[in-house]
Structure 1
Amino acid sequence: MIIKSSTALRNDYGTISELAHNEGEPIYITKNGEGDLVVMSIEAFEQREEALKLRARLEAAEQARLAGTPTYTLDESRKRLEAIYQHG
């Protein structure tokens, strides 16, 4: 975990930015010794967002499976898609 003060962010933005890009993880910014903000590179943020979206889709698929929604093997899925494309 990387922790920096708000003073460091204000006075040395370039170093904080470089750290965020190089480490690829959030930097916790404190104000008066208390947690205040989290700073991260856009790339790290977008990766985190994609991971959260994937996790939500996997959770929805697992809930559907547990509720009895039919599931298909890879081979069954391929055959179903081929049938759709042959008739479409």
Structure 2
Amino acid sequence: MPLIKPITDLRNTNEISELCHAKNEPIFITKNGYGDLVVMSIETYEAMLDENEIDREIAQAEAESCVDGKLIDAREALSSLRIKHFG
């Protein structure tokens, strides 16, 4: 469940920092009852960047494994590679 805090809680920066590091997830900050900011530790941010990079690479690999929107059969792909590279 996401952690939601009012913007006034940002006055206590040590508490917010400790929460960010303890929870390893973003903390949502509200202003006048509406979402305003997201605060997180650097470690959480970098992990999210790494996860997004992995997701992009998986999507690219999936796109490359399709011909006309259909997945290539693994046995056929390996067979064609063997023929291409080993004669």
Task: Tell me the TM-score normalized by structure 2.
Answer: 0.75
1:8 aligned residue: 9
More strand by share: 2
**Equivalent-residue separation in structure 2 for 1:4 and 1:23 (angstroms):** 13
> Residue type of the partner of 2:32?
N
RMSD between superposed Cα atoms in Å:
1.9
Residue segments in structure 1 that go unaligned for 5+ positions in a row:
81-88
Tell me if the contact between 1:65 and 1:71 (Cα under 8 Å) persists in the aligned partners.
Answer: no
2:32 aligned residue: 32
Task: Give identity over the alignment, percent.
Answer: 40
Count of aligned residue pairs for this structure pair:
72
Residue segments in structure 2 that go unaligned for 5+ positions in a row:
none
Task: Tell me the TM-score normalized by structure 1.
Answer: 0.74
**1:49 equivalenced with 2:49 (yes/no):** yes
> Residue type of the partner of 1:48?
M
